[in-house]
Structure 1
Amino acid sequence: MNHQEELPSYSDLLARTDAPPGSSWGLFGDDDDLGTLNFLTPERRIRAASLVSSGQAYSLDLPLDAFRQPLISHRGALQHTVFGLNEFHRDDKIDNLFPQATSQIDGLRHFGHPDYGFYNGADPERLIAGDPTLGIHRYAEHGVAGRGVLLDVGRYLEHSGDPIDYTQARSIPARVLDETARHQGVNIEPGDILLLRFGWLGHRMNQMRQDAQTGKDTLSDTPLVSVGLEQSHDTAEWFWDHRVALAAADNVALEVWPATASGLSVRADTQGALPPSSHTGMLHRILIPLLGLAIGELWQLDELAEACHADRRYECMLVATPLRLPGGVGSPSNAVAIR
């Protein structure tokens, strides 16, 4: 299918019999490994460039060493060494770098669907280092540049008298995204890079700073919980029907974490073929392998949100440059918003 305006709706995808229900497999070509980044067309990049007026740039990345203790236990902390061949020279190296440990973009090989497999039916045997199949380098080659739109969900809910309690795993339904957009006076357009600010990351970083000042450790023994998007087909429908190219948030998983209250299930779960795990019920299983949605997590959005709130302008040009790592699973986002 060559014309994006002819793409089926999410409800149509759920009725597919020629591919997994709810999937976009084959719609961008049988060998596609870009997924929703196909929505970032040259025309939409030109539109994004026209949004720059002040030229002010905002980095949306945390420092690579932001978390002394990894948020996700299997992702360790990097080790940075600076050395020199003589007193007038310096080089450095990084060991133990986990590309998805801080501000990140997930590639399409990050998650497979337990019943249907990886995006576009990719052979899982090929999802190894160096093999290009679904590698993060394809995002880098295509380019991640387009119209960025910030939905400041945290500020909207506070304004509405329903502020977020960051100690709880609060689930945000898709209707709140529509409400936030209406409140801000902004429209979501096909090909947008959507930025969702919940305020979770800013709260987490404040806790870490307070611990550093007091010498206390209030976080390491506390289960990781995060506000995030509701795990439902309504959420998936919202992203697909809006033709979102990439969705990034200032939380740990885009969706609410953990997924213990999720209503989503797969046959592998219900029939006992797959043991319960932290992935059970996750929206990731739909967004990445079925729809091919590019996802960003732990993006630093507070400074940008303040600027947007100040002049009531919630759109910008956004550029991200993931690592050109052949066969990479994910990458630091290296994202900049330009207004």
Structure 2
Amino acid sequence: MSSTLKTAQNRLSAMASNFTGGAISTEHQFPAFDDLPRVETEPQGCLWGFFDKDGKKDEVGTINLLTPSTVLSASREITTGESVQLDWPLNNVEFPGFSRKPFEQTKVDLLPVLNFKAMDDEVYINTQSGSQWDSLKHFAHQATGKYYNGLTHDQATRTDTNGIHNWCERGGIVGRGVLVDWLRWYESNKGEAPSPVQRNEITVEDLEETLKWQGTSTRPGDILIIRSGYVRWHNNASATVRKSGTQDNNTAIGLQGSEKSVRWLYDHHFAAVVGDTVAFEAWPPKFDDGWCLHEWLLVQWGTPIGEMWDLEKLSEKCKEKGKYTFFLTSAPLHIKGGIGSPPGAIAIL
């Protein structure tokens, strides 16, 4: 660990031990955004070193907030035992954007080989071409070339550091999910929603209004899930329209990248964030203004980003029950150094 990061860690530990407000648990108590110690080369608000322990650099970021007590509390959200899978079918994105290869499946007849009737299958997936988690080595701060906790791009290409296997070895991602059904709120109060395949921004004010309309509150360690309408659009579009809106057009609706959004996200201390759109934030981001949410969530805080989750059935269930919180489990692919993964996510109501 560099002397700068070590100093930052010591200062954070000292501040956390004295900080009395906004506690998540006795294990994690956060200073205010402006009181975080500066980390060399990084903007104010960087959390590097905060979760380090016993001289070892942390590799799971805000997943640390999913403590046994947090998970036990989340389990009390289960009232009916109904469950909803939140992954799109792997073959669902016909025309992946960003020059990514589409899903392929080969069904293998084992009879000619093994002399008994049985089947295997072999699949190819690009882990960014459908419902996914972004790991903490998926996206770097573009100006510095660094990933969470100071990992350089060169180190990221040569090591397994910050890989998804760290989440798996910790027990997966399990906690309290909170659906912010922005799409339903917007259409119920404002009329036709903006196009999900144009760069339309969802604001913090929108999120606050939606939560109030739903009668929902968040708490530290929650997994924030925003429904924007991208999946619904894709489900109902023709092949031609899908191709135009995905492969031929790299713009999409999402949370506004701004100082207000960054501070709001930090103050709420989510364990992870999820959307049904291409990049969670409105895409493409405005890199020059310093508020690209990928850079803040993945890099500065180590907060996983879920993208293109299928929230349609969940939305209907939550509306039916008048309750937008639930127990959430996610088992990413256990791949050493994994960069992305289908979420294997289930909401249990």
- Shorter-chain TM range is 0.7 to 0.9
C-alpha distance in 2 between matches for 1:18 and 1:5: 23
Pairing partner for 2:339 from 313, 329, 332: 329
C-alpha distance in 2 between matches for 1:242 and 1:312: 23
Q: Tell me the secondary structure at the aligned position of residue 146 of structure 1.
A: strand
Pairing partner for 2:108 from 83, 92, 96: 83
Q: Is 1:182 the equivalent of 2:212?
A: yes
- TM alignment of 1:167-178, pairs within 5 A: 167-178=197-208
Q: Any stretches of 5+ residues in structure 1 without a counterpart?
A: 212-216, 267-280
Q: Tell me the secondary structure at the aligned position of residue 157 of structure 2.
A: coil
- TM alignment of 1:176-325, pairs within 5 A: 176-207=206-237, 210-211=238-239, 217-221=240-244, 223-259=249-285, 262=286, 264-265=288-289, 282-325=292-335
| Contact 1:149/1:316 (8 A) holds in 2 | yes
Number of residues of Structure 1 aligned to a counterpart in Structure 2: 312
Compare 17-26 and 148-157 and name the one that shifted more: 17-26
Deviation sequence 1:193-244 (CA, Å, 0-9, x none): 111111221112210xx44xxxxx2343452432110011221211221110
Pairing partner for 2:38 from 3, 11, 16: 16
C-alpha distance in 1 between matches for 2:93 and 2:151: 33
Pairing partner for 2:182 from 153, 160, 172: 153
Deviation sequence 1:247-283 (CA, Å, 0-9, x none): 0011000001233xx37535xxxxxxxxxxxxxx732
C-alpha distance in 1 between matches for 2:189 and 2:337: 44
| Contact 1:107/1:328 (8 A) holds in 2 | yes
Deviation sequence 1:148-172 (CA, Å, 0-9, x none): 1111001111122154221532111
Give me the identity figure in percent: 33
Q: Higher relative contact order by CA 8 Å / sep ≥ 6: 1 or 2?
A: 1
Pairing partner for 1:25 from 41, 48, 63: 48
Q: TM (normalized to structure 2)?
A: 0.84
Higher helix share: 2
What's 2:129 paired with? 101
Tell me how large the CA RMSD over aligned residues is.
2.0
C-alpha distance in 2 between matches for 1:240 and 1:251: 21
What's 1:277 paired with? none
Q: Any stretches of 5+ residues in structure 2 without a counterpart?
A: 1-12, 17-25
- Once the two structures are TM-superposed, the CA of residue 68 in structure 1 deviates from its matched residue by 1.8
What's 1:276 paired with? none
| Contact 1:11/1:237 (8 A) holds in 2 | no
Pairing partner for 2:143 from 82, 107, 115: 115
Q: Tell me the secondary structure at the aligned position of residue 288 of structure 1.
A: helix
Compare 102-111 and 72-81 and name the one that shifted more: 72-81
Letter in 2 for 1:144: I
